[in-house]
Every structure is written in C-alpha cells, then in structure tokens.
C-alpha cells in the first residue's frame, strides 16, 4: 500500500474553497488512487489536524462528508475506516445515477427543433431532432451546477416529454423505449459563458466553462448527442482508469465541489 496523506497535498484558506471541503478532496483522492484501501483506517482526527494545520471541527466536517458519500465508516471511539474505493467498478450509468441522487433537475425546454450544424457533424445527416434542455441544481442548496442539452431522434417525442422527465432520468426513458446503448464517445472542450448559459449557471458572462460532448451509439450507429456545460469553480470531470482498462478509456464521471449547508 502507498503511504497515505504524504503531505504533498496542501489546504489553504486562500484557495477559495472551504477548508473542510479541501480536506475531503485530499482524502477522497487517497481512497480513489488506492493509498487508502477498503478496510484501512484513516489517520486519527488529531493526526489530520497536525498534518494539515486545521481545526478538529474542520476534520470532523470532512470526515462527515466522506461518511455521507459512503466512503468511510466512522466508529465512535475507534476511528474512521475506508468502506469502498471512491472509483466504482460500475458503468457510466452508475456515475450518472450518483449525480442524480445529489441533484434536482429542471426542464427548461423540450421540443422538436432544427439540428445545429455542430451537432449534425457528430450525428447522421438529418434536419430535425428532439431537443431537451435541463438544469441540474444541488439538492441541498439549490445552487445551479450543470446545464445539459440532448438531441434525440424525433421518434422519441412521445416518450421523452417534460412530464416524463420530471418522473424519470433521460437514460431510463431511452432504455424503457427499447434502446440499448453500446458505448459513449466523449469530447471535452473549454469555452466562455454566453448570456443564456451564464444566466442558467448563475455566473458572469465571459467566465470560463467546461463542456463535455457525448455521442451515444446503438446498433452500431450514433443514436443521440448529449452536451453538458459546467463551471470549473463548482465542478470537476474525473476519469478513473486501472491497468485493465487504460487502453479502453476508463470510466468518467462529474464531481461537484459545492458547499453543504450548515445547521
């Protein structure tokens, strides 16, 4: 096992992220990369205080967040122990389900419209598509996190509606329609926020954004196109790989670094 918490990662009050959240991310990374394996004990609260120069309250909040995420088991009077690796062996849909459990979705637009040329270049040649625009907010705070656009075959119009999206996530509606997805092709880019996106995400026009475009394949052909945009000040794109799947592209998910409300 690697030596955990080797001191190369620092936390700082000047980083613009709460100290307990920074410590959470450091420990999350230790678990994710295997420095702390399932069943291992985390350093004691006092040891973490001394290592990172933070208060016991900060340490306890970070450990509580790790416990809420299902990554550690806190045993009173004994310590905190890793319960499972942060990177799941599950599929891309497992990661999406985790995001869904932490956010609420608001459907901004749902209807047939002309296919933009940039989307058409990734898809089969067609004129129209079912367009779905959604906004995901942090469930605890209501903070806007992610704007998601989807361009779908028009034959899903009766299945993917504003009311159905309020009851079930998009991937489930697609699956229930009998579509079996085979793979996803990812593309990540950077851009600046235009007026509409800035308004939806609650950020300034011209601020930096991350965009992730995905083409979903079914029956050996592109089936639909998804595009997600988020602010790097609130979210990260994390790719997990092990020795077995490095050549296959690994697994990808989105993690949100947002402040939890306090009582």
pLDDT tens by residue, 53-109 = 889 999 999 898 888 878 888 888 888 999 865 444 444 444 555 455 567 889 999
How far does CA 87 lie from the centroid of its chain?
12
Any bridge partners for residue 192, and if so which?
208
Statement to judge: residues 119 and 212 lie in one domain = yes
How many structural domains is the chain composed of?
A: 2
133: which DSSP letter? Answer: E
Measure the CA–CA gap between 238 and 61, rounded to whole angstroms: 23
What range does the domain containing 160 cover? 92-256
Residue 204 lies in a domain: yes
Residue 101 lies in a domain: yes
Any bridge partners for residue 217, and if so which?
183, 222
Statement to judge: residues 40 and 166 lie in one domain = no
pLDDT in tens, 109-152: 999 999 888 888 777 767 889 999 999 988 878 889 999 999 99
**Residue 240, domain CATH:** 3.40.1410.10
Statement to judge: residues 154 and 224 lie in one domain = yes
Residue 115 lies in a domain: yes
The answer to whether residues 20 and 62 touch, using CB atoms and an 8 Å cutoff, is yes
The answer to whether residues 220 and 244 touch, using CB atoms and an 8 Å cutoff, is no
Q: From residue 131, how far is each of 64, 100, 118, 212 by CA, in Å?
A: 40, 20, 14, 17
Statement to judge: residues 177 and 102 lie in one domain = yes
Statement to judge: residues 101 and 78 lie in one domain = no
Statement to judge: residues 102 and 192 lie in one domain = yes
The answer to whether residues 253 and 238 touch, using CB atoms and an 8 Å cutoff, is yes
Statement to judge: residues 78 and 116 lie in one domain = no
Q: Of the candidates 82, 108, 132, which is a domain's last residue?
A: 82
């Amino acid at each position: 096992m690697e030596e955990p918490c080797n001191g190369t990662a620092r936390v700082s009050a000047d980083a613009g992220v709460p100290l307990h959240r920074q410590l959470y991310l450091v420990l999350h990374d230790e678990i994710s990369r295997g420095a702390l394996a399932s069943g291992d004990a985390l350093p004691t609260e006092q040891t973490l205080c001394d290592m990172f120069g933070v208060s016991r309250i900060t340490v306890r909040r970070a450990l509580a967040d790790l416990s809420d995420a299902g990554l550690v088991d806190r045993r009173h009077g004994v310590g905190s122990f890793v319960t499972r690796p942060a990177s799941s062996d599950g599929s891309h849909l497992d990661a999406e389900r985790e995001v869904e459990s932490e956010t609420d979705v608001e459907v901004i637009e749902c209807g047939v419209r002309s296919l933009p040329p940039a989307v058409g270049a990734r898809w089969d040649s067609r004129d129209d598509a079912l367009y779905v625009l959604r906004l995901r907010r942090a469930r605890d705070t209501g903070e806007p996190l992610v704007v998601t656009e989807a361009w779908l075959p028009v034959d899903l119009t009766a299945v993917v509606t504003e009311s159905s999206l309020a009851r079930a996530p998009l991937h489930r509606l697609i699956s229930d329609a009998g579509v079996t997805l085979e793979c996803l092709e990812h593309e990540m880019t950077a851009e600046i926020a235009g007026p509409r996106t800035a308004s939806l995400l609650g950020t300034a026009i011209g601020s930096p954004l991350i965009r992730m475009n995905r083409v979903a394949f079914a029956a050996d052909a592109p089936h639909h196109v998804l595009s997600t945009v988020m602010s790097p000040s609130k979210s990260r794109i994390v790719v997990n790989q092990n020795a077995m799947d490095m050549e296959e592209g690994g697994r990808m998910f989105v993690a949100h670094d947002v402040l939890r409300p306090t009582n």
